Amino acid sequence: MGKVFGIDLGTTYSSVAYIDENEKPVVLKNSDGDLATPSVVFFETQTDVSVGSAAKENVKAHHGKVVTFIKRKIGQAGFSLNINGIDLKPEEITSYIIRKVVNDAAAYLRMGGKLAEGETVKDVVITCPAYFGVSERDATAAAGKIAGLNVLSIINEPTAAAITYGASGAAQNKTVLVYDLGGGTFDATIINISPKEIRVVCTGGRRELGGKDWDDRLLKHLVDSFHAETGDSNIMDDIETLQELSLSAERAKMLLTSKDRAPLAVSYEGKRVRLEITRAKLDELTADLLEQTINITREVFEEAEKKGCRQSDVSEILLVGGSSRMPQVMRRVREAFNIETRLFDPDEAVAKGAAIYAQRESEYNIFLEEVSQYVGKSVEEVKQEIDEGRVNVSELARRAAVKPRKGRYLPEGEIKIVNVASRSFGTQAYDEFNKLKLYNIIRRNSDLPSTGTDTFYPRTDNQKSVRFKIMESLSSESVIEPEAGKVIGTAELELPKGVTRNTEIEVNFRLNESGLLELRAKEAKSGKVVEASFHAIDALTPKEMWDAIERTNSYRVH
């Protein structure tokens, strides 16, 4: 089996890890000798792209060609940026970040004699925020494919951190809350960790809440202070000055994690104002942002209660994500929940957990292939039978005379990982008052893989067909307004002649661990069936994917 890798694809920084010869997860250095690469892309020309620190240094001089925080746009319908005359979607822009970090990882391993000439980084697991929906997960996987990688799986960031925590031996039958405050996103996830299993209880979060928002508050304070001192309010109109101030705000925020004060200077059109930002002032400017994370965490505790997990069952809160280093974060979290709180490898835990998961996924896939050859079924059929508990893995391995390998489902000391649905999934239908509603068939925070069934009826006698509009939402209620959901696909079932309004149509949903949603609808009178699988409705078209791959292969990425 070749090497496999875990990629922590962050809003502000990204990193790569693998399992070394001592079976330990290790984060690999980039070409600058750093463990994390800024998730910044500079399109110097139509064929020359730089990523990381070099790109970040060009934000001021070439702001129209430099892309930052693209993770906040990934999976967003219709979004693209025109750079150097080319429309670029977030998936393609993200692919350059991925390509840069994996190329650097390969070079680092090759330099240490741990990767043979010609051997490449190919098989990866990529992380994403726990609350990402189908569109965002598909877009993340597409970015990896455009970069030329085989994406084994997309795994939730807090789950990856919990895997690292469990593998460290620190967890013995604990329930923990992973509070993940990154550069651009936030989520909170309650996870039960035991020697045999890592089980996600529930999760919640927000797409646009992270360290960048702290930076923006500090930036506004600098602009306001300059205006108060000089009476000049035009500084907001100067893009280059604002970019320089943005970098200064980020540096000041980072300095204030270890110092009480940070000196700053604001210069514009010959005017210069010296300022000193205190940690107390930063806390004051951003108190409401921190409170938003607390409120989201409270909501997660409330959701956990519905599944029988009380707040008192949580023995520890693990702070991960670089922005969790801010001292006020730990102080406020402890104050709000009165639970032991500590930083846990905030910069590396996610990448390490992804690497551990990647190795297990790879070995498990090999196991499935060997078993499928023995039983004469496809890998997908064997996997589904295991998922649904229809076969015993150990017995299957014994009969197939194949060695049980590491994987989520195998016993003998290996850890089983159970995730939850980050969204609810359902279909639109009319209620008894002839009002259109969204009926959630799989509820948010259901264990994965998850199945759900509901029964619907034609609106009229002799109806020719029914059209299923499949939607996802953040609501955990069974019936909600359609406006609260997002369409991810459609399917149509033809009906036989003579159907009546009381003809039952049974609709079954199945959601697997990677976010693939499958629908099976059966009409009772004739037994007609429609089956469909749904990924993102806004996914790249084959031509867009091909064009993106062609460009990334022809571009020089450094």
Instruction: Say if residue 1's pLDDT is above 70.
Output: no
| 41 and 167 co-located in one domain | yes
Residue 97 confidence (pLDDT): 97
Residue 14 confidence (pLDDT): 95
| 227 and 149 co-located in one domain | no
**Interatomic CA distance for residues 131 and 516, integer angstroms:** 15
Instruction: Say if residue 525's pLDDT is above 80.
Output: no
Judged by DSSP in three states, 239 sits in helix
One-letter amino acid for residue 174 of the chain = K
**Interatomic CA distance for residues 472 and 477, integer angstroms:** 12
| 410 and 497 co-located in one domain | no
At 183, the pLDDT band (50, 70, 90 cuts) reads confident
Q: Is residue 113 part of a domain?
A: yes
| 184 and 83 co-located in one domain | yes
Instruction: Say if residue 169's pLDDT is above 70.
Output: no
Instruction: Say if residue 278's pLDDT is above 60.
Output: yes
Closest among 455, 453, 486, 451 to 469, alpha carbons compared: 486
- In the sheet with 48-51, reading across from the earlier edge strand, the strands are 66-67, 41-43, 48-51, 556-557
At 409, the pLDDT band (50, 70, 90 cuts) reads very low
Residue 330 confidence (pLDDT): 93
At 208, the pLDDT band (50, 70, 90 cuts) reads confident
Q: Which of 222, 249, 283 is the last residue of a domain?
A: 283
| 357 and 448 co-located in one domain | no
| 378 and 407 co-located in one domain | yes
| 26 and 154 co-located in one domain | yes
Residue 412 confidence (pLDDT): 38
At 405, the pLDDT band (50, 70, 90 cuts) reads very low
Mean pLDDT, range 195-209, rounded to an integer? 85
Mean pLDDT, range 83-97, rounded to an integer? 93
Mean pLDDT, range 121-147, rounded to an integer? 89
Which CATH number does the domain housing residue 218 bear?
3.90.640.10
Question: Residue 70's Cα: distance from chain center in Å?
Answer: 13
Partners of residue 450 on adjacent β-strands: 511
**CB–CB of 125/152 below 8 Å?**
yes
DSSP at 540: P
**CB–CB of 271/232 below 8 Å?**
yes
pLDDT tens readout for residues 2-36: 789 999 999 999 999 999 888 889 999 999 999 99
What is the average pLDDT value for the chain, to the nearest integer? 86
At 411, the pLDDT band (50, 70, 90 cuts) reads very low
**What are residue 529's phi and psi, to 5 degrees?**
-130, 145
Share of the chain above pLDDT 90, in %: 37
Residue 359 confidence (pLDDT): 86
Per-range mean pLDDT, top range of 109-123, 135-149, 196-210: 135-149
Instruction: Say if residue 185's pLDDT is above 80.
Output: yes
**Interatomic CA distance for residues 71 and 242, integer angstroms:** 22
Q: Is residue 181 part of a domain?
A: yes
| 428 and 414 co-located in one domain | no
| 412 and 452 co-located in one domain | no
Q: Judging by beta carbons within 10 Å of its beta carbon (0-12, 13-18, 19+), is residue 459 exposed, middle or buried?
A: exposed
**DSSP string covering 252-264:** HHHHTTT-SEEEE
Instruction: Say if residue 490's pLDDT is above 50.
Output: yes
Which CATH number does the domain housing residue 459 bear?
2.60.34.10
Higher pLDDT, 380 or 84: 84
Q: Is residue 21 part of a domain?
A: yes
Residue 455 confidence (pLDDT): 93
Residue 410 confidence (pLDDT): 38
| 413 and 451 co-located in one domain | no
Q: Is residue 289 part of a domain?
A: no
Residue 538 confidence (pLDDT): 52
Residue 271 confidence (pLDDT): 80
Instruction: Say if residue 174's pLDDT is above 50.
Output: yes
**Interatomic CA distance for residues 214 and 482, integer angstroms:** 34
How many domains is the chain built from?
3
Structural domain containing residue 279 = 211-283
| 67 and 114 co-located in one domain | yes
Instruction: Say if residue 260's pLDDT is above 70.
Output: yes
Question: Residue 350's Cα: distance from chain center in Å?
Answer: 11
Which CATH number does the domain housing residue 384 bear?
3.30.420.40
Mean pLDDT, range 325-331, rounded to an integer? 92
Q: Is residue 533 part of a domain?
A: no
pLDDT tens readout for residues 503-513: 889 999 998 87
Q: Is residue 290 part of a domain?
A: no
Q: Is residue 473 part of a domain?
A: yes
- Give the predicted TM-score (pTM) of the model: 0.85
pLDDT tens readout for residues 426-476: 999 998 888 999 999 999 889 888 899 999 999 889 998 888 999 989 888
**Interatomic CA distance for residues 479 and 370, integer angstroms:** 44
Mean pLDDT, range 354-383, rounded to an integer? 80
Higher pLDDT, 188 or 408: 188
| 413 and 452 co-located in one domain | no
Helix H or strand E encompassing 300: helix 279-306
Q: Is residue 269 part of a domain?
A: yes
**Interatomic CA distance for residues 14 and 9, integer angstroms:** 5
CA distances from 22 to 26, 125, 219, 282 (A): 10, 20, 45, 43
Residue 408 confidence (pLDDT): 38
The total number of residues shown for the chain amounts to: 558
At 171, the pLDDT band (50, 70, 90 cuts) reads low
Judged by DSSP in three states, 85 sits in coil
